[in-house]
Each structure stands twice: as C-alpha cells, then as structure tokens.
Amino acid sequence: MADDKKQNLENKPELPQAPPPEEKKNNLPNFLLSVELKYVKLGYHYLVSNALYLILLPLLGMILTHLSTLDVERTLLELWNHLGSNFIITILGLASAVFVLTAFSMSRPRKVFLVDFACYKPDPSQKSSKENSLKIASMTGYFSEESMDFQRKILERAGYGQMTYAPKGLLKLPQDWSMAEALRETDEVMFGAIDELLSKTGVKPRDIGILVVNSSLFNPTPSLSARVVNRYKLRGNILSFSLGGMGCSAGIISIDLAKDLLQVHPNTYALVVSTENITRNAYHGDNKHMLVANSLFRVGGAAILLSNRPLDRFRSKYQLSRVVRTHKGADDKSFNSVMQQEDENKQMGVYLSKELMIVAGEALKTNISTLGPLVLPFSEQLLFLASLIGKKIFKMNIKPYVPDFKLAFEHFCLHAGGRAVLDELEKHLDLPPYLMEPSRMTLYRFGNTSSSSVWYELAYSEAKGRVKRGDRVWQIGLGSGFKCNSAVWEAIRTINPAKERNPWMEEIHEFPVDVPRKTPIVY
C-alpha cells in the first residue's frame, strides 16, 4: 500500500513553478509596456512643448527679484522728467508707434469665421436600399449579368447602409436622365441646403457679397452660381464663381477661394455651396472601371456661410486656421487615375483606375508633409527630424517616423469616397476607430456625396456633442487631377447638440453601427 501511494505521487503531474523575480520583471505583459511607453511619450511631449516656459520662468523670477530692489517711484519720476524735457521727441515717438501698429494691424490677414453650415437631407421617398438599387438597375436592361454581379459585390463591400438617397429620375422606370430632371435634382439639393442655412443664421441674401458653387460633373448654362443668384435675388455686384471638373476635393478649394476673396473685400459674407449631380452622370455600360463610380455616388450637398466681420466671431462656430492644397496633376499616373470619358460603346462615365488608392496615398503623404510643420507640436516635429537625419545622413536602418496627428486635431473629417478610401486614410494616419467613426457613419448613412461629405461628418460630431471650444477639426478632400486638400478649423465655442438642426439629429441615437469589413474587389 505504501508502494502504491509512492507510485501515485510519482505519477502526479508537477505543478507549474513560479518564475524567479528577475524573470517576472523581464516578462511584463505587453499592455503594461504599451502603457509605460504611452506615458513616456506624453511626458516627452509635455516637456518639449513647454520648454520655452520652463526656460523663461527662472529668467522672469530673476527680473522681478532685481526690480524689487529698485526705488520704483523715484525711477518713474526721473523718466517723466526726461520725457517732459524732450516733448517733441516724445510726441514723434508716440505717433510713430501708432503708425507702425496701425500698419501692422492692416497688413495682417483678416480672420475668416464659419458662421454655420447646413447639409441637405433628401425626401424619405428617395431612400434606396441595396436590393432596390440592384433591382432597378437590372430592370433597365442596360447591364449584362456579369456587370450586375460586379455591382452587387461593390454594394456589399462599399460600407453603405440601406438608407442612402438616389435621385428621383433614376428611381423610376423608364429612368429619366434628361437635362430638366438633372436641373431639378441640383435645384432641390442646392436650394434645400441654402434655405436651411439662411433660416439658421438669419442672414439676408442681400448681405452676401461672395458666392462660390462647386459641382464637378454637371455644369449647365447659365451656371449653377447664376441659378442661386436668380433664386435668391442676390445683389448685382456679387462676386460669383462656378467651379467644375475639380472632383470631390473641390469643396475645400471653394473654401480656399472664398477665404482669399474675403481678404480683399471687407465686412461681407461668403456663401459656399458644394454638391454633385447623379441624374446626368449615370453610366449605362459594362466597363467595370466605370461601374465602380456608378455604384458609389449618392444625393447630397452642403451650404456654408463664411464671414470676415469681427463681430460675427461671437456667433460663429469655427475659425479657419489653414488651407493646404496639393496637386499631383503633373504626374501622368495621378492625372489619369480618375477620368470622365466614353467607353468602347460610346457610353459616358467616370473611369477609376486600379492605381487610384496608390495615387491617393501618395497625394496624402505630400499634403500632410506640408501641413505637418504648420500644425504639429514641436515635440512631434523634433522626432520626425531626428528620424529623417538618422535615415538620410547616418544611413541608419530605421523606419521614417510617422507623426501623431492626434496631438494636433481632435476631429477628423475624411472624404467618404468609399470603404477603400477610408481604409487607406486610416492606415496612413494611424487613426483609432473612434476618430474614424464620423467618416464611416457618413458613408454608411448617406453614401459618397462627393465634396459635401466632410460637412456631413462634421455635422455628425456636432450631433454627438463632441465638439468643444478650442477643438481643432481637420477636413481632407481627395479628388480627380489628382488632388488632396486640407482645411483646418478651430471651434470658437462648444456646440450644444440640443440646439442644433442637422440631418443627423432625429436618428443620431442609432449610431454608431457595426459595419463589417470586406475584402476589396479585384477588377
């Protein structure tokens, strides 16, 4: 029996032994290491960002200590007597100082304020689910079975929901893509957004001195800006512009143009309208490169009111900080990546090349390399410079340092051109799901509304109550040419969602929703 007991003890599995203290120390959990690194980086960022203050504080203390030993009353009396004995010189000095300050003040750029903006929300009858869109496309008879299967795959992977909006002319059979129907669609979008904006701001049409309208693919005569002037009876000396053929990044180009005009025309408002027309640009062929765009675009538009009036600061939402524009049109691959053209059967459409995502990534890198030094904290610029010197000069085998733009911005509004576009931007900027949420939810709810998508995204953040005073917003637009444009805004006040009117308010409690990731389509 004793032998059996001894045998059982021998066969009993050994309990795992606790590692020695040294081994525990060398095998910290990964998440603890990441937390340690996070706080080391935050400490470094705080130290470098406040280095100037840390240097000046001791110097200021020394100056105050020295001043405390002086007879202040006697010193001021001697100074007054000196000025009194040189009265003419004193007057000339004061006049010169006033002149220099006045010239400096007048030479500074005028501040541009975003008073408010409005995004158009189409009638519920224009909602079109994926199944309904495919059903109508199939019933038109324009597409082969292979093309229908391709469009089905696009809709499954595009990141769209079931409530995006299609134009009325394309929701009926037979479809109506006439000029009259296209004008009807554009008028509803533009005037709907402008009516909402004027109602929100209380600005009278006659006070608007600058008008910029952008629509890439639809440019009738008279121009779209002329249609706005006629509808609202804007004044005869208004500066009006219609921007065409500039792709989905034209919205930020319009902001930049309005900003420049506000620098030379004081005390006025600028109205910017960003939209795109779907009715007139539907593709009715089987070229897969052109079917992609046919399945992506949806109805939408935005109207934005800018001002250079100093008093408007107290009622405005944002102040424009920066606009950085990048144009890669000199490169043939970039230029040809998005092209409106006819297919082999003379059907008009928008051609998207296979290299589009590569082109977009290169344009984004160029744009952020220009914007980075203007917005990033000095600590991030120092790390980037050290990485660059180590790689280029000392030939060190290290990866280039990717600046952390989360230290420069609280909100990211990235052009919702499609799931692949957002995936590319997310990868290059290393953004977490929380910061990608406005862009992905806009794509899910409204689809690709072209140049106006960045405004639906900002409206989403406002409806969620996330925009606080002092927050910085980065809008990125990507478009044909190929162009990548950035606009940076600073929130002047905290946005109270209870007082907001935007297309998200009635359903914001339903978001965010989970959008499954899909593999990209190869064509």
Instruction: Report which residue type is found at 355.
Output: E
3-state secondary structure of 213: strand
The pTM of this model reads 0.82
Pairing type for strands 239-243 and 208-214 reads parallel
Q: Can you list the alpha helix ranges (DSSP code H) found in 202-302?
A: 224-232, 250-264, 288-296
DSSP structural state of residue 351: E
**8 Å CB contact between 273 and 302:** yes
Q: How far apart are CA 227 and CA 238, in angstroms?
A: 13
**pLDDT reported for residue 204:** 96
Residue of 411, 413, 484, 485 marked active site = 411
Catalytic, 415? Answer yes
Catalytic, 411? Answer yes
Q: Which of 455, 413, 433 is nearest to 193 (CA)?
A: 455
Catalytic, 327? Answer yes
Cβ contacts of 132 within 8 Å, gap of 6 or more: none
Torsion sign (Cα): 241, 242, 248, 251: positive
Q: Is 234 exposed, middle or buried (0-12, 13-18, 19+ CB in 10 A)?
A: buried
The owner of tokens 């599995």 is 13
**pLDDT reported for residue 402:** 75
**pLDDT reported for residue 379:** 80
CATH numbers and ranges of domains, the chain: 114-510 (3.40.47.10)
The owner of tokens 């994926």 is 130
Question: Rg of the Cα trace of the chain?
Answer: 30
Residue of 277, 448, 485, 502 marked active site = 448
Task: Write out the E strands in 120-268.
Answer: 208-214, 239-243
Q: How far apart are CA 214 and CA 271, in angstroms?
A: 11
Phi, psi of 326 (to 5 degrees): -125, 130
- Helix, strand, coil % over all residues of the chain, rounded to 5: 55, 15, 30
> ω before 512 within 30° of 0 (cis)?
yes
Q: How far apart are CA 137 and CA 282, in angstroms?
A: 11
The owner of tokens 């931007």 is 425
Q: How far apart are CA 349 and CA 294, in angstroms?
A: 8
Residue of 327, 367, 485, 502 marked active site = 327
**pLDDT reported for residue 31:** 42
Catalytic, 413? Answer no
Torsion sign (Cα): 376, 492, 439, 299: negative
Residue of 294, 415, 484, 485 marked active site = 415
**pLDDT reported for residue 18:** 42
Residue of 45, 214, 248, 294 marked active site = 248
Phi, psi of 242 (to 5 degrees): -120, 120
**pLDDT reported for residue 272:** 98
Catalytic, 214? Answer no
- In tens digits, what is the pLDDT along the chain, a chain of 523 residues? 444 444 444 444 444 444 444 444 444 445 434 444 444 454 555 555 566 666 777 777 777 676 566 566 666 676 667 666 666 766 776 777 776 676 656 566 899 999 999 999 999 999 999 999 999 999 999 999 999 999 999 998 889 999 999 999 999 999 999 999 999 999 999 999 999 999 999 999 999 999 999 999 999 999 999 999 999 999 999 999 999 999 999 999 999 999 999 999 999 999 999 999 999 999 999 999 999 888 889 999 999 999 999 999 999 999 999 999 999 999 999 999 999 999 999 999 999 999 999 999 999 989 988 898 899 888 888 887 787 787 777 778 777 677 889 999 999 999 999 998 999 899 989 999 999 999 999 999 999 999 999 999 999 999 999 999 999 999 999 999 899 999 999 999 999 999 999 999 999 999 999 987 765 554 4
